[in-house]
Amino acid sequence: MAAALRRNVLLGFSQAAYQEEVIARRLFGRVQMVLNRPAAIRHVLVENPGNYRRTAAVTRLLGPLIGGGLFLAEGDDWKEQRRTVAPAFAPRTIPLLARRVAHTADALVRRLQTGPPGPVDLLETMQHLALEIAGAAMFSLDMKECGLEMRTLLEGYAERLGRPTLLDFLLPEWIPSFRDLGRRRFRRRWLALIARIVALRQARPQHLEPTDIFDLLATDPDTGAPLAPARLADQVATMIAAGHATTAIALFWALFVTASAPSVQERIAAEVASLDLGPERAAAALPQLVYTRAVIHETLRLYPPALSIVRQARRPDNAAGVAIPRGAVVMMAPWVLHRHHRLWREPEAFDPTRFLAEAVPPARFAYLPFGAGPRVCIGAQFALTEAVLVLARMVQAFRIERADDRIVKPVAAITIRPDSSPPFVLHRRD
């Protein structure tokens, strides 16, 4: 069982976790809690977030990828970073992103339409696509030069160094484990790659107006001063690691579930049939993709990008009637929360109509694909825009089917990904 848990921590959740509002246990002298009570989650993430910090294990696992960037920053440092990064993700930048997404999605559709016949690996295809979109939207760069190295590094980290071990939870942050030494080696290679990407982008001609996210990230929005190189590297690494990898996996799962649900796929096809999803009209089409967006939301419910949100209590607290002792590790696991039997009707069923306007909306803190509160994912609208437009364009161009009926199991490795990459068959809708 221990070996199975190392391969897939999703197996560690008991059936009670999907039934009870609070699961508490003591492990190695520390209280660990899983919260499924929406009011308690609201308290931890929104009403009293200052009482809760990242755990040492989270820093160990994610620090090599994103360093001291926005995701792991705390206190005043986080506030300052949020202030400087926010303009890059303001609503006014969505049309720019939509144009880049549509252009890249169109190019993918053309490649798939003219490529060799036969099954397609959509997991790999979406990973390439998300990386191309990240390169175009963030840096105005073609990522072919460094894309293979980037994917190899990120996938290798997720499969090996990114999987937690017992020592990650037991050792103080300042005592390195043997695996931490490997993470430090990864960190050096990763930063060298990020430095090359930044250098390539900085070598491009300058423009008076921002042309991509990098232009907005690279300078302080108040003073106009350039961001310190180390800080800029951490922000770029965060955007790449947190942005492209999670969106690629979300797109794979969306295509997987729509291929398995023909009626859902045909409803998307009907919605997009008359829409112009090209670069110049994609942003205008977004409000009309109501059902497609609901499909993405339902996909994120069943296959949330991150397994859990973990915090450690600095002081004793009471979260909507839940007593939380000092030092307790509090977990809010979207994987569990989104499948909880008290919060969702038929929680295991794929039903996009849950997210249509006429449906009764889920409890606000029962659905957390991007977190909540002041530390909600700053790139959430970017991720949704990309996922909705790509799914719409793929279904507009193809009828997507599974090429076999093998069972595909979700596993947790930084993101919630498939245990294998099943083949798909694409039929043109011309």
In order of their start, the domains of the chain are: 2-428 (1.10.630.10)
Strands 309-313 and 329-332: antiparallel
CA 23 to chain centre: 26
**Tokens 């569990």 belong to which residue?**
336
pLDDT of the residue at 6: 57
What are the residues facing 317 on neighbouring strands?
Answer: 324
Residue located via tokens 């450690």: 312
Q: Which pLDDT tens digits describe the chain residue by residue (430 residues)?
A: 444 455 677 877 889 999 999 999 887 778 999 999 999 999 999 999 999 998 888 889 888 988 888 888 888 888 888 888 887 788 888 988 899 999 999 999 999 999 888 899 999 999 989 988 888 877 877 777 777 888 888 888 888 888 888 788 778 778 888 889 999 999 999 999 999 888 888 887 776 666 777 877 777 777 777 788 888 888 888 888 777 778 999 999 999 999 999 999 999 999 999 999 999 999 999 999 999 999 999 999 999 988 889 999 999 999 999 999 999 999 999 999 999 999 999 999 999 999 999 998 888 899 999 988 888 888 889 999 999 999 999 999 999 999 998 899 998 877 888 988 999 999 998 7
Residue with tokens 């006429």: 358
| CB count in 10 Å sphere of residue 152 | 10
CB 56: neighbour CB atoms within 10 A? 18
Residues 284-313 as b or e (16 or more Cβ within 10 Å = b): ebbeebebbbbbbbbbbbbbbbbbbbbbbb
